[in-house]
Amino acid sequence: MRETVVGVGAGAETLSNTGGPTDMVLNIGPQHPATHGVLRLRLVLDGERIVSAEPIIGYMHRGAEKLFEARDYRQIIMLANRHDWLSAFANELGVVLAVERMLGMEVPERAVWTRTLLAELNRVLNHLMFIGSYPLELGGITPVFYAFTAREELQHVLEEASGGRMHYMFNRVGGLKEDLPAGWLGRVRQAVAAVRAQLPVYQDLVLGNEIFRARTAGVGVLSAEHVQAYGVTGPIARASGVDFDLRRDEPYLAYGELGGVLRVPVRQEGDCLARFECLLEQTEVSLDLAEACLDRLAGLAPGPVNLRLPKVLKAPEGETYAWTENPLGVNGYYLVSRGEKTPWRLKLRSASFNNIQALTELLPGTLVADMVAILGSMFFVVGDIDK
Protein backbone atom coordinates (compact mmCIF):
# COMPACT_ATOMS: atom_id res chain seq x y z
CA MET A 1 0.00 0.00 0.00
CA ARG A 2 1.34 3.41 -0.94
CA GLU A 3 0.41 6.39 1.22
CA THR A 4 0.69 9.91 -0.13
CA VAL A 5 0.51 12.83 2.27
CA VAL A 6 -0.75 16.16 0.97
CA GLY A 7 -1.80 19.17 2.91
CA VAL A 8 -3.49 22.51 3.04
CA GLY A 9 -0.74 24.51 4.65
CA ALA A 10 1.12 21.30 5.55
CA GLY A 11 3.19 20.49 2.44
CA ALA A 12 3.22 17.20 0.60
CA GLU A 13 5.41 14.14 0.53
CA THR A 14 5.31 10.47 -0.42
CA LEU A 15 5.80 8.17 2.56
CA SER A 16 6.21 4.94 0.62
CA ASN A 17 7.26 3.98 -2.89
CA THR A 18 5.80 0.51 -2.80
CA GLY A 19 3.35 -0.46 -5.51
CA GLY A 20 -0.39 -0.91 -5.20
CA PRO A 21 -3.28 1.43 -4.58
CA THR A 22 -2.70 4.82 -2.99
CA ASP A 23 -4.31 6.20 0.15
CA MET A 24 -4.25 9.96 0.19
CA VAL A 25 -3.75 11.56 3.60
CA LEU A 26 -4.92 15.17 3.56
CA ASN A 27 -3.80 17.50 6.32
CA ILE A 28 -6.24 20.33 6.90
CA GLY A 29 -4.29 22.88 8.88
CA PRO A 30 -2.92 23.72 11.25
CA GLN A 31 -3.15 27.08 9.47
CA HIS A 32 -6.19 26.72 7.25
CA PRO A 33 -8.66 29.65 7.35
CA ALA A 34 -11.65 27.29 7.23
CA THR A 35 -11.01 26.32 10.85
CA HIS A 36 -11.81 28.40 13.95
CA GLY A 37 -8.26 28.81 15.15
CA VAL A 38 -5.30 26.46 14.99
CA LEU A 39 -6.83 23.02 14.55
CA ARG A 40 -5.41 20.22 12.38
CA LEU A 41 -7.44 17.46 10.78
CA ARG A 42 -5.75 14.37 9.39
CA LEU A 43 -8.05 12.91 6.74
CA VAL A 44 -7.61 9.67 4.83
CA LEU A 45 -9.34 9.92 1.45
CA ASP A 46 -10.66 7.49 -1.12
CA GLY A 47 -11.07 9.78 -4.10
CA GLU A 48 -13.24 12.65 -2.85
CA ARG A 49 -14.72 10.69 0.02
CA ILE A 50 -13.33 10.76 3.54
CA VAL A 51 -12.41 7.31 4.90
CA SER A 52 -11.24 8.38 8.37
CA ALA A 53 -10.66 11.62 10.26
CA GLU A 54 -8.46 12.43 13.23
CA PRO A 55 -8.61 15.84 14.91
CA ILE A 56 -5.11 16.70 16.14
CA ILE A 57 -5.20 19.30 18.89
CA GLY A 58 -2.81 21.02 21.23
CA TYR A 59 -1.33 23.76 19.04
CA MET A 60 -2.73 26.44 21.38
CA HIS A 61 -2.31 24.54 24.65
CA ARG A 62 -1.34 26.90 27.49
CA GLY A 63 -1.45 24.53 30.44
CA ALA A 64 -4.30 26.45 32.06
CA GLU A 65 -5.10 23.73 34.60
CA LYS A 66 -1.50 23.75 35.89
CA LEU A 67 -1.52 27.54 36.03
CA PHE A 68 -4.69 27.38 38.16
CA GLU A 69 -2.67 25.66 40.89
CA ALA A 70 -0.25 28.60 41.13
CA ARG A 71 -2.87 31.36 41.30
CA ASP A 72 -5.16 32.42 44.11
CA TYR A 73 -8.92 32.33 43.66
CA ARG A 74 -9.13 35.92 42.50
CA GLN A 75 -6.38 35.47 39.89
CA ILE A 76 -7.89 32.25 38.54
CA ILE A 77 -10.88 34.20 37.22
CA MET A 78 -8.58 35.92 34.71
CA LEU A 79 -7.24 32.59 33.40
CA ALA A 80 -10.65 30.93 33.25
CA ASN A 81 -12.02 33.93 31.38
CA ARG A 82 -9.95 33.16 28.30
CA HIS A 83 -10.28 29.54 27.17
CA ASP A 84 -13.49 30.22 25.22
CA TRP A 85 -13.01 33.82 24.21
CA LEU A 86 -16.60 34.09 22.98
CA SER A 87 -18.03 33.01 26.36
CA ALA A 88 -15.85 34.93 28.79
CA PHE A 89 -18.53 35.78 31.34
CA ALA A 90 -19.81 32.21 31.44
CA ASN A 91 -16.25 30.92 31.96
CA GLU A 92 -15.74 33.21 34.95
CA LEU A 93 -19.07 32.19 36.38
CA GLY A 94 -18.19 28.52 36.75
CA VAL A 95 -15.09 29.28 38.82
CA VAL A 96 -16.82 31.64 41.25
CA LEU A 97 -19.76 29.25 41.66
CA ALA A 98 -17.35 26.44 42.58
CA VAL A 99 -15.53 28.55 45.17
CA GLU A 100 -18.77 29.95 46.60
CA ARG A 101 -20.10 26.42 46.95
CA MET A 102 -16.97 25.39 48.86
CA LEU A 103 -17.37 28.40 51.16
CA GLY A 104 -21.11 27.85 51.64
CA MET A 105 -21.60 31.41 50.46
CA GLU A 106 -24.94 32.91 49.43
CA VAL A 107 -24.53 35.97 47.20
CA PRO A 108 -26.96 38.93 47.22
CA GLU A 109 -30.15 38.61 45.19
CA ARG A 110 -29.28 41.50 42.91
CA ALA A 111 -26.00 39.82 42.04
CA VAL A 112 -27.80 36.55 41.21
CA TRP A 113 -30.20 38.22 38.79
CA THR A 114 -27.50 40.43 37.27
CA ARG A 115 -25.30 37.39 36.69
CA THR A 116 -28.19 35.63 34.97
CA LEU A 117 -28.80 38.66 32.75
CA LEU A 118 -25.13 38.97 31.81
CA ALA A 119 -24.83 35.23 31.15
CA GLU A 120 -27.69 35.39 28.64
CA LEU A 121 -26.33 38.51 26.94
CA ASN A 122 -22.99 36.71 26.62
CA ARG A 123 -24.82 33.70 25.14
CA VAL A 124 -26.40 35.92 22.48
CA LEU A 125 -23.00 37.43 21.64
CA ASN A 126 -21.54 33.96 21.23
CA HIS A 127 -24.37 32.71 19.03
CA LEU A 128 -24.38 35.79 16.82
CA MET A 129 -20.73 35.18 15.99
CA PHE A 130 -21.51 31.69 14.63
CA ILE A 131 -24.79 32.77 13.02
CA GLY A 132 -22.77 35.26 10.98
CA SER A 133 -19.59 33.26 10.38
CA TYR A 134 -21.11 29.89 9.45
CA PRO A 135 -22.81 31.16 6.25
CA LEU A 136 -19.55 32.99 5.49
CA GLU A 137 -17.69 29.67 5.44
CA LEU A 138 -20.20 28.40 2.89
CA GLY A 139 -19.77 31.43 0.64
CA GLY A 140 -22.48 33.79 1.97
CA ILE A 141 -20.84 37.04 3.05
CA THR A 142 -23.90 39.20 3.83
CA PRO A 143 -25.11 37.62 7.14
CA VAL A 144 -21.87 38.38 8.96
CA PHE A 145 -22.44 42.14 8.53
CA TYR A 146 -25.88 41.88 10.12
CA ALA A 147 -24.54 39.67 12.92
CA PHE A 148 -21.70 42.02 13.80
CA THR A 149 -24.02 45.02 13.75
CA ALA A 150 -26.23 43.22 16.28
CA ARG A 151 -23.21 42.19 18.34
CA GLU A 152 -22.12 45.80 18.62
CA GLU A 153 -25.45 46.72 20.22
CA LEU A 154 -24.74 44.28 23.05
CA GLN A 155 -21.00 44.93 23.16
CA HIS A 156 -21.65 48.59 23.99
CA VAL A 157 -23.72 47.84 27.09
CA LEU A 158 -21.43 45.05 28.32
CA GLU A 159 -18.41 47.27 27.87
CA GLU A 160 -20.16 50.06 29.77
CA ALA A 161 -20.83 47.76 32.72
CA SER A 162 -17.55 45.84 32.88
CA GLY A 163 -14.98 47.90 30.99
CA GLY A 164 -14.14 44.97 28.68
CA ARG A 165 -15.32 44.10 25.19
CA MET A 166 -14.25 40.46 25.21
CA HIS A 167 -12.76 39.60 28.61
CA TYR A 168 -15.19 41.13 31.07
CA MET A 169 -13.64 40.18 34.41
CA PHE A 170 -16.90 41.19 36.09
CA ASN A 171 -17.51 38.17 38.33
CA ARG A 172 -16.03 38.02 41.79
CA VAL A 173 -16.25 35.39 44.51
CA GLY A 174 -19.28 36.63 46.44
CA GLY A 175 -20.93 38.54 43.61
CA LEU A 176 -19.86 41.09 41.03
CA LYS A 177 -17.02 43.60 40.72
CA GLU A 178 -19.27 46.62 41.18
CA ASP A 179 -22.80 47.91 40.77
CA LEU A 180 -24.30 48.68 37.39
CA PRO A 181 -24.14 52.21 35.91
CA ALA A 182 -27.13 54.52 36.28
CA GLY A 183 -29.68 54.00 33.51
CA TRP A 184 -27.90 50.87 32.30
CA LEU A 185 -30.94 48.59 32.47
CA GLY A 186 -32.83 50.86 30.09
CA ARG A 187 -29.96 50.84 27.60
CA VAL A 188 -29.79 47.04 27.77
CA ARG A 189 -33.50 46.84 27.04
CA GLN A 190 -33.00 48.98 23.94
CA ALA A 191 -30.07 46.80 22.80
CA VAL A 192 -32.10 43.61 23.29
CA ALA A 193 -34.96 45.07 21.25
CA ALA A 194 -32.55 46.05 18.46
CA VAL A 195 -31.08 42.55 18.28
CA ARG A 196 -34.52 40.94 18.36
CA ALA A 197 -35.65 43.10 15.45
CA GLN A 198 -32.84 41.62 13.34
CA LEU A 199 -33.65 37.94 13.95
CA PRO A 200 -36.13 37.69 11.03
CA VAL A 201 -33.27 38.73 8.75
CA TYR A 202 -31.39 35.50 9.53
CA GLN A 203 -34.56 33.47 8.99
CA ASP A 204 -35.02 34.93 5.52
CA LEU A 205 -31.42 35.53 4.48
CA VAL A 206 -29.93 32.25 5.71
CA LEU A 207 -32.58 29.65 6.42
CA GLY A 208 -34.61 30.86 3.44
CA ASN A 209 -31.64 30.51 1.11
CA GLU A 210 -31.90 27.39 -1.05
CA ILE A 211 -28.12 27.16 -1.51
CA PHE A 212 -27.56 27.20 2.27
CA ARG A 213 -30.19 24.52 2.79
CA ALA A 214 -28.72 22.36 0.02
CA ARG A 215 -25.29 22.55 1.65
CA THR A 216 -26.55 21.72 5.17
CA ALA A 217 -29.73 19.60 5.06
CA GLY A 218 -28.89 15.93 5.54
CA VAL A 219 -25.17 16.71 5.78
CA GLY A 220 -23.06 15.68 8.78
CA VAL A 221 -25.74 13.75 10.65
CA LEU A 222 -24.74 13.08 14.27
CA SER A 223 -26.80 10.42 16.03
CA ALA A 224 -28.02 10.69 19.60
CA GLU A 225 -25.99 7.59 20.46
CA HIS A 226 -22.76 9.25 19.36
CA VAL A 227 -23.73 12.41 21.25
CA GLN A 228 -23.97 10.42 24.46
CA ALA A 229 -20.87 8.32 23.73
CA TYR A 230 -18.64 11.35 23.21
CA GLY A 231 -20.20 13.59 25.86
CA VAL A 232 -21.34 16.15 23.30
CA THR A 233 -23.46 18.92 24.84
CA GLY A 234 -25.06 22.25 24.01
CA PRO A 235 -26.87 23.12 20.77
CA ILE A 236 -25.03 20.36 18.88
CA ALA A 237 -26.44 17.69 21.21
CA ARG A 238 -29.93 19.19 21.21
CA ALA A 239 -29.94 19.25 17.40
CA SER A 240 -29.57 15.47 17.57
CA GLY A 241 -32.58 15.02 19.85
CA VAL A 242 -30.75 14.96 23.20
CA ASP A 243 -33.00 17.19 25.31
CA PHE A 244 -30.58 18.31 28.03
CA ASP A 245 -29.99 21.82 29.35
CA LEU A 246 -28.54 22.49 32.80
CA ARG A 247 -30.46 25.74 33.14
CA ARG A 248 -33.67 23.71 33.21
CA ASP A 249 -32.51 20.28 34.43
CA GLU A 250 -30.21 21.42 37.25
CA PRO A 251 -30.97 25.11 37.75
CA TYR A 252 -28.36 27.53 39.05
CA LEU A 253 -28.38 31.32 39.45
CA ALA A 254 -32.00 32.49 38.88
CA TYR A 255 -32.93 29.94 36.22
CA GLY A 256 -35.13 28.03 38.64
CA GLU A 257 -37.47 31.05 38.69
CA LEU A 258 -37.47 31.44 34.91
CA GLY A 259 -39.14 28.16 34.02
CA GLY A 260 -42.04 29.95 32.35
CA VAL A 261 -39.68 31.77 29.99
CA LEU A 262 -36.93 29.21 29.43
CA ARG A 263 -37.56 26.76 26.64
CA VAL A 264 -35.04 24.36 25.14
CA PRO A 265 -34.91 24.18 21.32
CA VAL A 266 -34.54 20.58 20.17
CA ARG A 267 -34.33 19.03 16.70
CA GLN A 268 -34.26 15.37 15.68
CA GLU A 269 -32.40 15.51 12.35
CA GLY A 270 -28.89 15.94 13.80
CA ASP A 271 -27.54 17.53 10.60
CA CYS A 272 -25.79 20.83 9.93
CA LEU A 273 -29.09 22.59 9.28
CA ALA A 274 -30.59 21.39 12.58
CA ARG A 275 -27.55 22.64 14.49
CA PHE A 276 -27.88 26.09 12.93
CA GLU A 277 -31.63 26.17 13.62
CA CYS A 278 -31.02 25.32 17.28
CA LEU A 279 -28.45 28.09 17.54
CA LEU A 280 -30.79 30.65 16.02
CA GLU A 281 -33.75 29.65 18.20
CA GLN A 282 -31.56 29.65 21.31
CA THR A 283 -30.65 33.26 20.54
CA GLU A 284 -34.32 34.20 20.66
CA VAL A 285 -34.79 32.31 23.94
CA SER A 286 -31.81 34.11 25.49
CA LEU A 287 -33.30 37.47 24.53
CA ASP A 288 -36.55 36.41 26.25
CA LEU A 289 -34.60 35.44 29.38
CA ALA A 290 -32.68 38.72 29.32
CA GLU A 291 -35.93 40.69 29.22
CA ALA A 292 -37.32 38.65 32.14
CA CYS A 293 -34.16 39.42 34.14
CA LEU A 294 -34.48 43.12 33.32
CA ASP A 295 -38.06 43.11 34.58
CA ARG A 296 -37.02 41.43 37.84
CA LEU A 297 -34.03 43.72 38.39
CA ALA A 298 -36.21 46.77 37.82
CA GLY A 299 -38.43 45.63 40.68
CA LEU A 300 -35.65 44.85 43.17
CA ALA A 301 -34.82 47.34 45.91
CA PRO A 302 -31.32 48.87 45.84
CA GLY A 303 -28.77 46.73 47.62
CA PRO A 304 -25.29 45.23 47.48
CA VAL A 305 -24.01 43.16 44.54
CA ASN A 306 -21.15 41.50 46.43
CA LEU A 307 -20.01 40.34 49.84
CA ARG A 308 -17.09 41.56 51.90
CA LEU A 309 -14.28 39.02 51.72
CA PRO A 310 -11.05 38.60 53.70
CA LYS A 311 -7.87 39.98 52.15
CA VAL A 312 -6.54 36.45 51.71
CA LEU A 313 -9.30 34.16 50.49
CA LYS A 314 -8.92 30.47 51.33
CA ALA A 315 -11.35 27.72 50.39
CA PRO A 316 -11.88 25.06 53.10
CA GLU A 317 -10.44 21.61 52.60
CA GLY A 318 -12.65 19.45 50.40
CA GLU A 319 -13.82 19.11 46.81
CA THR A 320 -16.74 20.15 44.65
CA TYR A 321 -17.87 20.23 41.03
CA ALA A 322 -19.67 23.19 39.52
CA TRP A 323 -21.03 23.04 36.00
CA THR A 324 -22.86 25.58 33.90
CA GLU A 325 -24.67 25.60 30.57
CA ASN A 326 -22.18 27.64 28.57
CA PRO A 327 -23.16 28.88 25.10
CA LEU A 328 -21.33 25.98 23.40
CA GLY A 329 -22.27 23.28 25.93
CA VAL A 330 -21.54 22.10 29.46
CA ASN A 331 -18.57 23.78 31.15
CA GLY A 332 -17.43 22.29 34.46
CA TYR A 333 -14.81 22.93 37.15
CA TYR A 334 -13.75 20.18 39.54
CA LEU A 335 -12.16 21.95 42.50
CA VAL A 336 -10.04 20.20 45.11
CA SER A 337 -8.83 22.33 48.02
CA ARG A 338 -6.44 21.63 50.89
CA GLY A 339 -7.37 24.78 52.73
CA GLU A 340 -4.87 27.06 50.99
CA LYS A 341 -5.33 30.26 49.01
CA THR A 342 -4.67 28.33 45.79
CA PRO A 343 -6.50 25.18 44.64
CA TRP A 344 -4.68 21.87 44.96
CA ARG A 345 -6.40 20.86 41.72
CA LEU A 346 -8.84 22.60 39.40
CA LYS A 347 -9.88 20.42 36.47
CA LEU A 348 -11.62 22.11 33.55
CA ARG A 349 -14.26 20.30 31.51
CA SER A 350 -14.76 22.43 28.42
CA ALA A 351 -17.57 21.98 25.90
CA SER A 352 -15.54 22.25 22.70
CA PHE A 353 -13.05 19.57 23.79
CA ASN A 354 -15.75 16.90 23.87
CA ASN A 355 -17.76 18.24 20.96
CA ILE A 356 -14.86 18.20 18.50
CA GLN A 357 -14.10 14.51 19.18
CA ALA A 358 -17.34 13.63 17.41
CA LEU A 359 -15.69 14.59 14.10
CA THR A 360 -14.18 11.09 14.03
CA GLU A 361 -17.75 9.80 13.60
CA LEU A 362 -19.16 12.67 11.53
CA LEU A 363 -16.60 12.99 8.74
CA PRO A 364 -16.00 9.39 7.54
CA GLY A 365 -18.20 8.63 4.53
CA THR A 366 -18.76 12.27 3.62
CA LEU A 367 -17.33 14.23 0.70
CA VAL A 368 -14.39 16.58 1.10
CA ALA A 369 -16.66 19.34 -0.24
CA ASP A 370 -18.95 18.88 2.78
CA MET A 371 -16.12 18.93 5.31
CA VAL A 372 -16.12 22.70 5.87
CA ALA A 373 -19.92 22.72 6.23
CA ILE A 374 -19.67 20.03 8.91
CA LEU A 375 -16.68 21.60 10.63
CA GLY A 376 -18.33 25.02 10.87
CA SER A 377 -21.56 23.54 12.24
CA MET A 378 -19.72 22.17 15.29
CA PHE A 379 -19.52 25.76 16.67
CA PHE A 380 -16.26 25.32 18.56
CA VAL A 381 -13.55 27.66 19.83
CA VAL A 382 -10.07 26.16 19.62
CA GLY A 383 -8.91 27.71 22.90
CA ASP A 384 -11.76 25.80 24.53
CA ILE A 385 -10.37 22.58 23.05
CA ASP A 386 -6.71 23.08 23.91
CA LYS A 387 -7.22 24.89 27.26
- Residue-wise pLDDT tens digits, 109-131: 999 999 999 999 999 999 999 99
User: Which ranges in the chain belong to alpha helices (H)?
Assistant: 64-68, 73-80, 88-103, 109-137, 142-162, 184-202, 210-216, 224-230, 235-238, 246-249, 272-299, 351-357, 359-362, 371-376, 382-386
pLDDT at 205: 92
Higher pLDDT, 375 or 2: 375
Q: What is the CA radius of gyration of the chain?
A: 22
Where is pLDDT greater, at 165 or 286? 286
Q: Which pLDDT belongs to residue 386?
A: 87
Map out the domains of the chain as residue ranges: 64-385
For 4-26, what is the mean pLDDT?
56
Confidence bin at 387 (pLDDT 50/70/90):
confident
- 13, pLDDT greater than 70: no
pLDDT, mean of residues 50-70: 90
Question: According to the model, what pLDDT value does residue 15 have?
Answer: 44
CA gap 243, 264 in Å, rounded = 7
Question: Averaged over 288-299, what is the pLDDT?
Answer: 96
What integer pLDDT is reported at residue 7 of this predicted model? 55
Percent of the chain with pLDDT over 70: 93
**69 with 346: CB under 8 angstroms?**
yes
Residue 242 contacts by C-beta under 8 Å, 6 or more apart in sequence?
Answer: 224, 227, 228, 232, 266
Q: How far apart are CA 169 and CA 160, in angstroms?
A: 13
The pLDDT of residue 14 is 40
Residue 305 CA to residue 386 CA, distance in Å, equals 34
- Determine which of 58-67, 266-275, 311-320 has the lowest per-residue pLDDT on average: 58-67
**Residue 282 burial (10 A CB sphere; 0-12, 13-18, 19+):** buried
Q: Flag whether pLDDT at 11 surpasses 50.
A: no
Q: How far apart are CA 164 and CA 25, in angstroms?
A: 43
The percentage of residues in the chain with a pLDDT greater than 90, rounded to a whole number, is 80
Encode pLDDT of 323-378 as tens digits. Answer: 999 999 999 999 999 999 999 999 999 999 999 999 999 999 999 989 999 999 99
pLDDT tens per residue across span 168-225: 999 999 999 999 999 999 999 999 999 999 999 999 999 999 999 999 999 999 999 9
Distance, CA of 280 to CA of 356 (rounded, Å) = 20
Domain 64-385: CATH superfamily is Cytochrome-c3 Hydrogenase, chain B (1.10.645.10)
pLDDT at 239: 97
Pairing relation of β-strands 345-349 and 329-337?
Answer: antiparallel
- Of residues 6 and 17, more confidently modeled: 6
